[in-house]
């Protein structure tokens, strides 16, 4: 028996850009909805049409991902960073697949994007910006 999946479709072109397993889609959407409504208080750009089919408004989603990236770069709370580091890389992957250009406003955001797009990111630790603007990886075992 095949496992059910979520389908993420671009609202302007009807192109399917991601089809994770149902549980992955549910977990992702739960995190995204909490981040958008409770933390950032901005629309996500993701419309859960039927519980397993989501349309992506690329304009709104770009703003949402940008706000999340900015918030990630402005926090020093390690637990918040750890939680967001489980969600934001997947958000960035979906943005990339949707043709949305996410570039980062400064060195810390650009370093984070490089880390988030790296398949070995878990081995590298978490990107942290110091008060002096220097960027390093926290928890990389080095």
What is the domain partition of the chain in residue ranges? 7-138
For position 141, what pLDDT does the model report? 44
Q: For the chain, what is the mean pLDDT? A: 87
What three-state secondary structure class fits 31?
helix
For position 1, what pLDDT does the model report? 40
For residue 118, name the pLDDT band (cuts at 50, 70, 90).
confident
What are 59's two structure tokens? 């304009």
For position 66, what pLDDT does the model report? 96
pLDDT in tens, 48-100: 998 889 999 999 999 999 999 999 988 888 899 889 999 999 999 999 999 99
Rg (CA), the chain: 15
Instruction: Quote the CA–CA distance of 117 and 122 in Å, as a whole number.
Output: 11
For position 4, what pLDDT does the model report? 75
Question: For residue 109, is pLDDT > 50?
Answer: yes
For residue 14, name the pLDDT band (cuts at 50, 70, 90).
very high
For position 76, what pLDDT does the model report? 80
Read off the pLDDT of each residue in 100-109 and give the average, rounded to a whole number: 90
Beta strands 7-10 and 53-56: pairing type?
Answer: parallel
Are the CB atoms for 102 and 69 separated by under 8 Å? yes
For position 30, what pLDDT does the model report? 96
């Amino acid at each position: 028996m095949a496992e059910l999946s979520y389908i993420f479709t671009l609202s302007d072109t009807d192109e399917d850009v991601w089809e994770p397993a149902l549980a992955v889609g549910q977990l992702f959407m739960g995190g995204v909805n909490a981040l958008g409504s409770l933390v950032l208080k901005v629309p996500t750009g993701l419309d859960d049409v039927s519980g397993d089919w989501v349309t992506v408004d690329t304009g709104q989603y770009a703003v949402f991902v940008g706000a999340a990236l900015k918030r990630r770069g402005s926090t020093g709370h390690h637990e918040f960073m750890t939680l967001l580091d489980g969600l934001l890389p997947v958000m960035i992957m979906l943005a990339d697949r949707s043709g949305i250009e996410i570039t980062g406003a400064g060195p810390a955001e650009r370093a984070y994007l490089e880390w988030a797009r790296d398949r070995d990111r878990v081995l590298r630790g978490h990107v942290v910006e110091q008060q002096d603007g220097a960027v390093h990886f926290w928890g990389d075992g080095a």
